[in-house]
């Protein structure tokens, strides 16, 4: 299960809080939410404090998002390690 909440919204930045597991169909949902947020703001920030698991597709998405105008906040050491080591 994944919950995505808008916790800050302005013309410049939209901050999305991502909670739960980023797996399966939820990967596409986060991509869709990011696309929607990008249509309204210059920068999207993902708050990953409450994200506790990411599957291989989620790792790929988070890496791809980091290459664009998407920043990450509060990434746990566990998720951070997955993003560094898990070459998919």
Question: Tokens 């951070």, residue?
Answer: 80
Global confidence as pTM = 0.85
Contact 30, 4 (CB under 8 A): yes
Residue-wise pLDDT tens digits, 16-71 = 999 999 999 999 999 999 999 888 878 899 999 999 999 999 999 999 998 887 99
Residue-wise pLDDT tens digits, 60-74 = 999 999 888 799 999
Structural domains present in the chain: 2-85 (3.30.750.24)
Residue burial 60-88, b: 16+ Cβ < 10 Å; e: rest:
bbbeebeeeebebeebeeebeebbeeeee
């Amino acid at each position: 299960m994944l919950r995505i909440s808008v916790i800050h919204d302005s013309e410049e930045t939209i901050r999305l809080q991502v909670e739960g597991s980023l797996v399966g169909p939820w990967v596409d949902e986060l991509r869709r939410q990011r696309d929607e947020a990008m249509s309204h703001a210059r920068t999207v920030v993902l708050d990953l404090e409450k994200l506790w698991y990411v599957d291989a597709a989620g790792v790929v998405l988070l890496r791809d998002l980091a290459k664009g105008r998407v920043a990450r906040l509060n990434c746990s050491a566990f998720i951070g390690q997955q993003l560094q080591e898990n070459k998919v």
